């Protein structure tokens, strides 16, 4: 079935998944099991046989976690991104987040959607930035909406580079 | 009293509260000046503008800075649990806040203990929190977009990030069916205003109205157009309109403001907010004489 590592901040889960995958673990972001969900939080699913090694690695990287729990099923993050042409602009959607950029200049002209408090803060940083220079939303925010916006930004950069 | 509650993109989690007014330099709440952007500041600015045009008392705002660590949101939840009913609110609109289950449930208990029956509206993070806490039915209005509707329709989803992929990219012609399913789920508010290329007003499991003109395709791309819609609908309910009637009028006013500012995908939300008084007069005629 697997185990889930629980965190007090979504940002720690996102960073942990990145580190674990980089070190060859089979790690996936999932919603915490019902009953121990606190709201807009994330956990990382690992194989049963890898849970202790995964925790040791996170300890060595200085990432604190709350607990381990059995994985009882649950949806992983949406993987799809979609694009929509709007005249001189392209809008990329990932989940509830939308990022729109100019086809000519690659300037990000608007960010819409989302409901987590860091989104307006990130939007202030990214609006009017060029795709080439735009930094990951995860440097400014730690929410699930920020994670989706990061996916939209990666896809927008790929589309503009093509 | 109309009370608006949410976070703005600032690092100081201190609560800022007071009547909201619009100035050339931004949104004034009490003695504090807050920049207008997408999120709760845009919602509050739109609401203040609509209230002024309607000739009614401005909204009372309770805002806190939050850049994502949840500190400002927690202060707002504490206010909701301990103080907000002391204001004798007629309407409470909850907006950008970290969706925290325990706090949202405590707000539900505080409402019950107060014995009050204000109109409750939720959008953005507060709507996510209400849904995952299972207390959506104590609200009167949610204002989801298409992606958020999928989240509301997916019973297991803890966030729009975890929506079942079968629900993720459904065609627009399925919106009424999904909205009706959400509306009669038993954990949903009495009314839904589903915003998109067509705005649907859903009540008691049925689509009761649609607004599709003027059509402004760029509105989907511009950050904050859903926030202004929530602000305008709050103002109209504050003026005495029924929730469903306010939704219908607000959808038309928001679209008209988009047309009047010549909205393009690179327009910023403050341009739409500037046009709300003209749009409101265009849709409603002289204040108080609705054309609906």
Q: Residue holding tokens 């007003």? A: B201
The answer to whether A116 contacts B157, with C-beta atoms less than 8 Å apart, is no
In a domain, B190, yes or no: yes
Scanning B185-244 for CB atoms below 8 A from A yields 217-218, 220-226
In a domain, B185, yes or no: yes
Reported confidence tier of residue A126, pLDDT bands at 50, 70, 90: very high
The alpha carbons of chain A give a radius of gyration, in whole angstroms, of 17
The answer to whether B265 contacts A89, with C-beta atoms less than 8 Å apart, is yes
| pLDDT at residue A78 in the model | 66
From the list B83, B116, B66, B94, the residue with the least C-alpha distance to B3 is B94
From chain A, the residues in CB contact with B159 under 8 A are 31, 40, 144
C-beta of residue B53 within 8 angstroms of C-beta of residue B287: yes
- Eight-class DSSP state of B203: E
The answer to whether B159 contacts A31, with C-beta atoms less than 8 Å apart, is yes
pLDDT digits (tens, 9 = 90+) for A97-112: 999 999 999 999 999 9
In a domain, B147, yes or no: yes
Reduce the DSSP state of residue A102 to 3 states and report it: strand
Q: How far apart are CA A17 and CA B203, in angstroms?
A: 42
In a domain, B167, yes or no: yes
| pLDDT at residue B288 in the model | 47
From chain A, the residues in CB contact with B164 under 8 A are 75
Which percentage of chain A shows pLDDT scores above 70? 95
Q: Is the peptide bond before B214 cis (omega within 30 degrees of 0)?
A: yes
Cα separation of the two ends of chain A: 40
Q: How far apart are CA A106 and CA A125, in angstroms?
A: 16
Please give the tally of structural domains in chain B.
1
Q: How far apart are CA B149 and CA B166, in angstroms?
A: 13
Q: How far apart are CA B150 and CA B167, in angstroms?
A: 6
- The pLDDT mean for chain A works out to 88
Q: How far is CA B136 from CA B140, B150, B178, B244, in A?
A: 9, 15, 16, 17
The alpha carbons of chain B give a radius of gyration, in whole angstroms, of 17
Q: Which of A38, A39, A45, A118 to substitute to test the interface with B, most B CBs within 10 Å?
A: A39
B122: left (phi over 0), alpha (psi -120 to 50) or beta: beta
**Residue A77 in tokens:** 């993050």
- CB-based contacts of A19: which residues, under 8 Å, 6+ apart? A57, A58, A61, A63
Q: How many Cα atoms within 13 Å fall on the side-chain side of residue B184?
A: 9
From the list B23, B47, B10, the residue with the least C-alpha distance to B239 is B47
pLDDT higher than threshold 60 for residue A90: yes
Chain B CB within 8 Å of residue A78 CB? yes
| pLDDT at residue B272 in the model | 97
Per-residue tens of pLDDT for chain B, all 292 residues = 999 999 999 889 999 999 999 998 899 998 899 999 889 999 999 999 999 999 999 999 999 999 888 899 999 999 999 999 999 999 999 999 999 999 999 999 999 999 999 999 999 999 999 999 999 999 999 999 988 898 899 887 877 777 776 666 778 888 899 998 888 888 899 999 999 999 999 998 899 999 999 999 999 999 999 999 999 999 999 999 999 999 999 999 999 999 999 999 999 999 999 999 999 999 998 654 444 4
In a domain, B38, yes or no: yes
Q: How far apart are CA A59 and CA B194, in angstroms?
A: 45
pLDDT digits (tens, 9 = 90+) for A22-44: 899 999 888 888 777 777 778 89
The answer to whether B38 contacts A123, with C-beta atoms less than 8 Å apart, is yes
Q: What is the ipTM of this complex?
A: 0.89
Chain A CB within 8 Å of residue B291 CB? no
| pLDDT at residue B183 in the model | 87
Alpha helices by DSSP H, listed for B61-219, are 71-82, 101-114, 124-132, 146-153, 165-168, 175-183
Reported confidence tier of residue A51, pLDDT bands at 50, 70, 90: confident
**Residue A25 in tokens:** 């673990």
Q: Which of B223, B224, B254, B272 to substitute to test the interface with A, most A CBs within 10 Å?
A: B223
| pLDDT at residue A162 in the model | 86
Chain B CB within 8 Å of residue A38 CB? yes
Chain A CB within 8 Å of residue B121 CB? no
Structural domains of chain A, ranges and CATH numbers in brackets: 3-70 (3.30.70.1530), 81-161 (3.90.1010)
Domain that holds residue B197: 2-284
Q: Read off the pTM.
A: 0.90
Q: Residue holding tokens 């508010």? A: B189
Which residues lie across from B202 on neighbouring strands?
A: B192, B207
In a domain, B289, yes or no: no
From the list A127, A134, A133, the residue with the least C-alpha distance to A108 is A127
Q: Is A57 exposed, middle or buried (0-12, 13-18, 19+ CB in 10 A)?
A: middle
In a domain, B290, yes or no: no
Q: Residue holding tokens 């609560």? A: B15
Q: Residue holding tokens 């504090």? A: B32
* CB nearest B101 (choices: A39, A119, A127): A39
pLDDT digits (tens, 9 = 90+) for B77-130: 999 999 999 999 999 999 999 999 999 999 999 999 999 999 999 999 999 999
In a domain, B292, yes or no: no
B280: domain CATH number is: 3.40.1190.20
Q: How far apart are CA B44 and CA A74, in angstroms?
A: 36
* CB nearest B169 (choices: A80, A120, A148): A80
| pLDDT at residue B286 in the model | 63
Alpha helices by DSSP H, listed for chain B, are 40-54, 71-82, 101-114, 124-132, 146-153, 165-168, 175-183, 225-238, 243-260, 269-274, 276-284
């Amino acid at each position: 079935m697997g185990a889930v590592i629980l965190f007090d901040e979504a940002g720690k889960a996102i960073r942990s998944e990145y580190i674990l995958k980089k070190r060859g673990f089979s790690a996936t972001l999932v919603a915490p099991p019902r009953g121990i969900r606190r709201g807009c939080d994330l956990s990382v699913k690992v194989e049963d046989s890898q849970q202790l090694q995964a925790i040791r690695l996170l300890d060595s990287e200085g990432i604190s976690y709350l607990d381990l729990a059995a994985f009882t099923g649950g949806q992983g993050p949406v993987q799809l991104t979609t694009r929509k042409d709007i005249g001189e602009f392209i809008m990329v959607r990932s989940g509830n987040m939308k990022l729109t950029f100019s086809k000519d200049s690659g300037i990000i002209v608007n960010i819409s959607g989302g409901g987590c408090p860091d989104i307006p803060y990130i939007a202030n940083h990214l609006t009017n930035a060029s795709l080439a220079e735009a930094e990951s939303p995860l440097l400014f925010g730690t929410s699930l909406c920020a994670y989706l916006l990061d996916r939209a930004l990666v896809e927008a950069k790929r589309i503009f580079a093509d | 009293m109309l009370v608006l509650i949410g976070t703005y993109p600032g690092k100081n989690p201190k609560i800022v509260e007071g009547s909201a007014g619009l100035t050339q330099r931004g949104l004034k709440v009490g003695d504090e000046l807050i920049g207008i952007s997408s999120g709760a500041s845009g919602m509050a600015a739109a609401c203040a503008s609509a209230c002024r045009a309607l000739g009614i008392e401005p909204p009372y705002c309770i805002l806190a800075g939050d850049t994502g660590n949840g500190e400002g949101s927690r202060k707002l939840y504490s206010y909701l649990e301990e103080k907000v009913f002391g204001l004798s609110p007629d309407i409470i609109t909850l907006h950008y806040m970290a969706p925290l289950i325990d706090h949202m449930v405590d707000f539900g208990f505080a409402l019950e203990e107060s014995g009050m029956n204000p109109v409750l509206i939720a959008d953005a993070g507060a709507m996510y929190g209400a849904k995952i806490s299972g207390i959506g039915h104590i609200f009167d209005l949610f204002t989801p977009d298409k992606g958020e509707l999928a989240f509301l329709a997916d019973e297991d989803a803890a966030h729009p990030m975890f929506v079942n992929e079968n629900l993720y990219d459904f065609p627009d012609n399925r919106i009424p069916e999904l909205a009706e399913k959400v509306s009669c789920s038993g954990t949903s508010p009495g009314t839904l205003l589903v915003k998109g290329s067509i705005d649907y007003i859903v009540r008691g499991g049925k689509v009761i109205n649609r607004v599709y003109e003027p059509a402004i395709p760029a509105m989907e791309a511009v950050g904050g157009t859903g926030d202004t819609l929530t602000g305008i609908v709050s103002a109209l309910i504050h003026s005495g309109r029924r929730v469903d009637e306010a939704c219908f009028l607000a959808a038309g006013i928001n679209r008209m403001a988009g047309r009047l500012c010549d909205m393009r995908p690179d327009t910023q939300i403050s341009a739409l907010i500037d046009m709300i008084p003209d749009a409101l007069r265009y849709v409603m005629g002289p204040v108080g004489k609705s054309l609906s």
